[in-house]
Structure formats: structure tokens, C-alpha cells
Chain A
Amino acid sequence: MSEGDPPDRLSRLGDRIEQARAGEKPPAPAKPDDRGLGGALGYALRMGAELLGALLVGVALGWVFDRFLGTRPWGLIAFFFIGAAAGVMNVYRATVGGGRGGGAR
């Protein structure tokens, strides 16, 4: 560190911060679940929750549709399959999409 005149160093500080910011890597998809047994268990529960969550929502939606439109049991049947498909898609996205869950693109 030489004794360069302070105002100059200070004025270059902003540029240096900008450079450092630009060097930061862009948002990388997070992979929270790989740490031993606890991680594996968490991963299993997580995938289960993704699958089950979508199925539950599908069935609930189907039930509500039937109740208000009087189309029993067709809404339930249709939304059961839609929910199952959404669940599989959630799990697929959570595995290949870098840990993101339902609805992520």
C-alpha cells in the first residue's frame, strides 16, 4: 500500500465495488438437501410432500367443483388425475429444476 493521494483512491472505490459485484456468480439454483442421513430423510419427505400436496389440492378442487356444479363424481375423477399429474411434475421439477418445488418453471 503506497501513500497515493486519498481522494483518488476513494473515487475509484465505487468502480472497484462495481467490479466485485459483477464478478459475483449469478443466482445458482440451490441444492439444500445433500447432507448425510438427515439430508436424505429430508429429501424423501420433501418429495413425498410435493407428490402428496398436489394430489390433495387436486382432489379438494374436484370435490369443490362437484359440490357447486352438481357433477359428482366426474369432477373428482378428473381432478384426481390432474392432481396426480401435477404431483409428478412437481417432483420432476424439484429434482431437475435445482430444488424448486411446485409451480416453478
Chain B
Amino acid sequence: MAAENGPLEQFVIERLIPLHLGKYDISYTNSALLMTIAVVLITLLLVVGTRRAALVPGRLQSTAELSYEFVANMVRENVGTEGIEFFPLVFSIFMFVLFGNVLGLIPYSFTFTGQIVVTFALAIFVFLLVTLVAFIKHGIHFFTFFFPAGAPVFMAPILVPIEIVSYMSRPVSLGIRLFANMMAGHTMMAVFAAFTITLGVFGFMPIAINVALFALEIIVTALQAYVFTILTCLYLRDAIYLH
């Protein structure tokens, strides 16, 4: 492996249980393991947190309720009251990305949101869903979305392709953003960790930087989960109201 012991070694996919379906490799990998852990933890948090619902919530119940309130408010404010039917989807996306980001910060674990396949699959899913919703709600009227209102008609041959490319760039930038943030942060930490060994006595300096970076990464994990979710909300609003 080219990335052996380098800063990128942490992103290597390992097959834990090799499986093959026809010519497709569907092995259970370390990435899939972390996804399973994330889903199990989310389910546990919500089920255990709300099982004995008290009027004065305990720590677990507070966490579960806070996350629910947070996402519900986000949907209400950014999509509008009509968008609340998409709450389960938006909540699932938020929790999955957030747990993926945070679990990746644990040493020796794996960041599945640092894999472009994962983030891109999520982004494409959101994109297809939003387009489908727009089509169901507006039918053929959806195509007016590609021509800015009030622009002169003779500009259409230039404007329409630009708008279409701009629309199609949504999943790409949505996927790249999350992937780039997670990958850049983790690579940076690994690079500084390697400096610790090569610098010998002065190794405390990269350690100090890494402590600061770790704090920054905690912000980034939450912020990127938030950004991914809020963009999903904004796309949903575009699809529902089609300005």
C-alpha cells in the first residue's frame, strides 16, 4: 500500500468480512462497521432517551429532545411549515452525518464521512429526492426554475445552460464540501502527529498544535453536519416553493 504509515493511511478501507455478489465486491468493511455503530448509537440514544420520559428530563432524554428540537426548528425556519413532512428524512441525515463525523474523531476509529463515495452518495440521494419532489409538486412548471424571472428572452441560450449546470453542481459541491472538510482535518492532524516523532525533544510543539486542531475539529464536525442539513433544507424549500 502506497499510503503505509503516511497521513493518508487512516482512510484505507479494510475488508473485515469479504463478501462477493456476482462480480461485485460487497464486503463488510471498516467503513460499514462504523456506519453500523453510528446507526445503533443513534437508535439507542433516541429509544433509551425517550423510554422513561420524565417531565424533568435526565441527561440522555435532554440530548434526545435537544437534537429533535434543533432539527425541527431548522426545518420549520428554512423549509417552512409545509416542509415538516420531510422532518424524518432531514433528522436522519443530520444524525447520521453528525455521528459519522464525531465517531471519526475517536482514535483508531474510521471516518466514513471522509470517504467521497459516502458523502457523494448522500448528496446524490438528496439531489434526486429534491428534484423528484419538485416534479411531483409542480410538474412541467419545474423547468421555469432554469430561467431567471425578468431576464430578457434573447439571453435564454446563455442563461439556461448556466442555470442547468448550476443546478447540477449542487450534489457535487454538497458532497465535496463534507468530504473535503473531514479529510483535510484528519490529514492535518496525522501530519502534525508525525512531526511529534521526528522533532524529538521539541515534539511538544506539534502536540500543542494537535490539541488546538482537535478542538477545531470538534467544531468542524458539528458545523459540517449542520451545513449539510441546512443545505438539504434550503434545496427542499426551493423544490416546494419554486420561487
Residues on A close to B: CB < 8 A?
27-28, 30, 32-33, 35-39, 41-42, 45-46, 48-50, 52-54, 56-58, 61, 79, 82-83, 85-87, 89-90, 99-105
Q: Are A41 and B173 in contact (CB under 8 A)?
A: no
Q: Are B173 and A38 in contact (CB under 8 A)?
A: no
Q: Are A53 and B220 in contact (CB under 8 A)?
A: no
Is chain A's interface secondary structure helix, strand, loop, or mixed overall? helix
B135-172: contact bitstring with A at CB < 8 Å (1 yes, 0 no)?
A: 00000000001001000000000000111011111101
Chain A residues, Cβ within 8 Å of B167 = 102-103
Distance in angstroms from B56 CB to nearest chain A CB is 22
Q: Are A86 and B227 in contact (CB under 8 A)?
A: no
CA distance A100 to B235 in the complex (A): 8
Q: Are A102 and B169 in contact (CB under 8 A)?
A: yes
**Count, A-B residue pairs, CB within 8 A:** 121
Chain B residues, Cβ within 8 Å of A56 = 169, 172
Q: Are B177 and A46 in contact (CB under 8 A)?
A: yes
Whether B184 sits at the interface, judged by CB under 8 Å, is yes
Q: Are A100 and B227 in contact (CB under 8 A)?
A: no
Q: Are A27 and B78 in contact (CB under 8 A)?
A: yes
Distance in angstroms from A57 CB to nearest chain B CB is 5
Q: Are B165 and A42 in contact (CB under 8 A)?
A: no
Interface centre among A41, A48, A52, A53 (most CB of B within 10 A): A53
Q: Are A83 and B173 in contact (CB under 8 A)?
A: no
- 28 of the cross-chain contacts (CB-CB < 8 Å) are A27-B78, A27-B237, A30-B77, A32-B227, A32-B230, A35-B219, A37-B216, A38-B216, A38-B219, A39-B223, A46-B173, A46-B177, A49-B173, A49-B174, A52-B176, A53-B176, A54-B169, A54-B172, A56-B172, A57-B168, A79-B161, A83-B169, A86-B162, A86-B165, A101-B170, A102-B170, A103-B170, A103-B235
